[in-house]
Amino acid sequence: MQAFMSCNSGPQPIKLGSDACDFCKMSIADQHFGAEIITKKGKVYKFDDMHCILAFMKSNTISRNDIKETWFVNFNEPHNFIPAQKAFLLRSDELHSPMGGNVACFDDEKKMKETMNNIKGEVVTWNQLVNGK
């Protein structure tokens, strides 16, 4: 018998070098990139890169209707998560994320723009990425 217990309704810490990406199966190794999907039943899926979470969603492994929350690792504060709808996203080939998604997530626009002083890129939204733009 398998029981699901979930006291924590938010994202779970990503254990670098130990947790594997639920899409590409590679070990999650870069603290500046990562994401999690939490289902309505409380199952947590972890990802090492924006490419992987988007590919996972397109694979229909789980229905979008079953997704309760989506979280991103904060690029500047890797131990903190940002809800997808509140994240400021910067896409740039200069970011060199693990699987080539090359999207950094920030908790406020000012921090993102400060990063843009050193990294050229474009501002995107979560909805744009989900819709393939």
Alpha-carbon distances of 15 from 68, 91, 122, rounded to whole Å: 22, 24, 29
52-68 residue pLDDT tens: 999 999 998 999 999 99
Is the predicted pLDDT of residue 75 greater than 70, yes or no? yes
Give this prediction's pTM: 0.89
Average pLDDT, the chain: 92
- In this prediction, residue 48 has a pLDDT band, given cuts at 50, 70 and 90, of very high
76-89 residue pLDDT tens: 998 899 999 999 99
Nearest-10 Cα torsion for 48, 54, 57, 59: -100
Is the predicted pLDDT of residue 5 greater than 80, yes or no? no
pLDDT in the model for residue 133: 78
pLDDT in the model for residue 8: 55
Contact 16, 82 (CB under 8 A): no
pLDDT in the model for residue 23: 97
Domain boundaries, the chain: 35-130
Is the predicted pLDDT of residue 1 greater than 80, yes or no? no
Helix (H, G, I), strand (E, B) or coil at 108: coil
pLDDT in the model for residue 117: 95
